[in-house]
């Protein structure tokens, strides 16, 4: 999936958006993803919430904007904390102008989900992919 062009359509960029979850796996050509989950600044969220393209929904107790391709929120509750855009900056990397959570951050999150019994087969497969990727960097 070409994430960058989809973000540009909504004026989402590295200054107001962090692509969370498996988006980094797509960016590194480890696997394709089917949707784009993002955390945006409060200002960008308010702007997008006026867009009729999106439905307001609840996900894990937080309001998100959803349109079947994008899931947009102002935070991500993972690894025991509620991470807002500014919090994620220290755990992100920019690739081709798009800011993503780091592989290490996602690996930690998915390992915790698995340990807590919340992991899906997809998460188990992703952990293996990330471990192979990171071992190849050493």
Task: For residue range 15-46, list pLDDT tens digits in order.
Answer: 999 999 999 999 999 999 999 999 999 999 99
pLDDT, one tens digit per residue, over 71-104 is 999 999 988 899 999 999 999 999 999 999 999 9
Task: At 83, list the tokens.
Answer: 């991470």
3-class SS letters over the chain? CCHHHHHHHCCCCCCCEEEECCHHHHHCCCCCCCCEEEEECHHHHHHHHCCCCCEEEEECCEEEEECCCEEEECEEEECCEEEEHHHHHHHEEEECCEEEECHHHHHHHHHHHHHCCCCCHHHHHHHHHHHHHHHHHC
In this prediction, residue 80 carries a pLDDT of 83
Mean of per-residue pLDDT scores for the chain: 95
Q: Give residue 138's pLDDT.
A: 65
């Amino acid at each position: 999936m070409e994430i960058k062009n989809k973000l540009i359509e909504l004026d989402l960029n590295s200054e107001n958006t962090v692509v969370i979850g498996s988006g980094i796996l797509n960016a590194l050509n480890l696997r394709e993803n089917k949707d784009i989950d993002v955390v945006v600044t409060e200002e960008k969220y308010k702007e997008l919430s006026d867009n009729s393209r999106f439905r307001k929904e609840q996900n894990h107790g937080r309001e998100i904007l959803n349109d079947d391709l994008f899931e947009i929120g102002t935070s991500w509750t993972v690894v025991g904390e509620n991470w807002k855009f500014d919090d994620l900056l220290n755990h992100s990397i920019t690739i081709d102008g798009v800011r993503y959570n780091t592989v290490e951050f996602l690996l930690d999150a998915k390992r915790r989900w698995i340990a807590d019994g919340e992991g899906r087969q997809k998460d188990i497969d992703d952990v293996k992919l990330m471990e192979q990727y990171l071992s190849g960097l050493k």
